[in-house]
Amino acid sequence: MAMTLLAQINPIASQESAEMHSMMHNNARYICGIVAHSKDRGVASVAIRSLAIAAETLGTRREQEEVLEIFERVRRETGWNVKFLGTELKVKWGWAEEMPQSMAHTSVLANFLPSPQSSLGPSPTPARPMLRPGILNPLLASADFSLAVHPYQSHYQPPNTNTNTQAQKNAYSFM
C-alpha cells in the first residue's frame, strides 16, 4: 500500500511515467492478490483500506467487479460495513450509473462524522469546509485535555496531579 501511494504522489514524476506507472500497478495488483486470497478475518480493517486504495488504480471492468465481490465477501465474513466503498469506487472508476463524485464522497463523510466540537452539548451540523481533504484530522484535532475545548467537556476533571505534575510534563514533552 505504501508503494502504491508513493507512486501516485511523486512530486516530479507523474503517474503516467513508466516507472511510477509500473510501481503503482505492480503494488496494487499485489495488494489485490493478497486480499483476494486471504482468509485472515483479523486483518480486515487494514485489508479493506489497502484494497480500496489499490482498487482505485484498476482499469478493467473484470478486475473492478472482482474487487466489489471481495468487499462483499469481507462484509459477509466480518460484518464490516463496506457498501459505501463500492459506491465511492464506482464513482472513481467512472461507472456511468453512479452519482457525481463530490456528492458520493460528501455523503459518506456526513454519515461518518460525529459532532465536530467533540463536546456533549447540542451538536451543530458538521460544516462543509470540515470535510475537505488535506486538513488535519478534524475528529482528533482537539483530542487533548490541555486544550480549552476538549473531549468530555462537561464532565472531565483533571486527575489528581499531586504526584504527577512532573510525570505529565514528561508525558507531553515528547509528544
Q: Does 145 bind another protein (CB under 8 A)?
A: yes
Q: Which of 52, 38, 73 has the alpha carbon at shortest distance from 5?
A: 52
With binding defined as CB under 8 A, does residue 91 bind another protein? no
Q: Interface with another protein includes 95 (CB under 8 A)? A: no
Of the candidates 34, 98, 42, 36, the residue with the CA atom closest to the CA atom of residue 67: 36
Hey, which residues between 45 and 64 contact another protein (CB under 8 A)?
45-46, 49, 52-53, 60, 62-63
The size of the interface with another protein (CB under 8 A), counted in residues, is 84
Asked if residue 118 binds another protein (CB under 8 A), the reply is yes
Residue 103, C-alpha cell as written in the block: 456528492
Q: Is 82 in the site for another protein (CB under 8 A)?
A: no
Q: How far is the CB of 99 from another protein (least distance, A)?
A: 19
Q: Which is nearer to another protein, 96 or 137 (CB)?
A: 137
Q: Rule CB under 8 A: is residue 171 a binding residue for another protein?
A: yes
* DSSP H or E run through 102: helix 101-112
Residue 1 DSSP code = -
As given in the structure block, the three cell numbers for residue 93 are 472508476
Work out how close the CB of 102 gets to another protein at its nearest, in angstroms, rounded to a whole number. 14
Of 84 and 98, CB closest to another protein: 84
- The reply to whether 21 sits near another protein by the rule CB under 8 A is no
Under rule CB under 8 A, residue 150 binds another protein: yes
- Report the C-alpha gap between 44 and 110 in whole angstroms: 23
SS3 105: helix
What lies within 8 Å, CB to CB, of 48 at 6+ separation is: 71, 74, 80, 82, 85
- CB of residue 91 to another protein, shortest distance in Å: 14
